[in-house]
Amino acid sequence: LQTRMQSLQPDPKAQYRSVYEALKKIVLTEGFWRPLRGINVTMLGAGPAHAMYFACYEKMKKSLSDTIQHGGNSHLANGIAGSVATLLHDAVMNPAEGNAVVKQRMQMFNSPYKSVLTCIRTVQKTEGFGAFYRSYTTQLTMNVPFQAIHFITYEFMQEQINPHREYNPRSHIVSGAVAGAVAAAATTPLDVCKTLLNTQENMALSSVNISGHLSGMVNAFKTVYQLGGVAGYFRGVQARVIYQMPSTAIAWSVYEFFKYFLTKHKLEKRA
């Protein structure tokens, strides 16, 4: 849904006014499973990437907080730890952003690709291996501020509603959802540019007389502005926020549960 709604020059049959209308139209015209296209690509690296992501964040947060604020909660430490964890996560999860190039091409309206393998082969043959690296800079540039805002907001929310930092599922879900929403809204402009670089929308590029392939974050920013002005940078913000809220809420609640469970089990074993 997010990829479709971020399209700058959509096909008349793929123009949506809201997330609900988009989901309803896609299911009715393209089938029940269409909104899930590309999910198998995303799942491949999710487990190991998220394990390293949270492990790195916890270790760096503790070390930096001890240095900056003598063991207290430092927002600067949280932001830096989240940024570094993101670099490690992306290295495992999405080398050179190849996953998103394939995933978003398969999610576009009237996508000609029937499978992941077909998409990879066609893109490599027609656009070269560099196509999988086209938006890597944008991806890193987007993910670092996203995760910095995400972690700072989560820790801030925990300070407000769970100051004693006890295991409290409700507080973790609420904090995670708010953190995801704030970070998603703030970084939507970068995500719109990333989507344009990944999908290379023919209608959009031809309407501003761009032939060949669009490359580079600066060019993407200029093109988005040419096509939609300032409002163009926030296309699909509703879908992005709605997607991120449950995603970050689930991630934090699951992580906090296992953190509590393993810590408790370790303490009981020592006792």
More confident: 139 or 34: 139
Mean pLDDT of all residues in 45-58: 78
What's the CA gap between 199 and 8, in Å, rounded?
11
Coil vs helix vs strand at 127? helix
Cα 156–Cα 90–Cα 124 angle in degrees, nearest 5: 145
More confident: 36 or 164: 164
Confidence of residue 255 (pLDDT cuts 50, 70, 90): very high
H/E segment holding residue 32: none
Both tokens of 163, joined, read 């100051």
pLDDT score, position 256:
94
Mean of all residue pLDDT scores within the chain? 77
pLDDT tens sequence across 7-27: 655 555 555 556 666 666 656
pLDDT tens sequence across 156-215: 999 999 999 999 999 999 999 999 999 999 999 988 888 787 776 666 666 666 666 777
The least confident of 56-65, 88-97, 146-155, 194-203 is 88-97
pLDDT score, position 34:
53
- Nearest Cα to 99, choosing from 55, 58, 143? 143
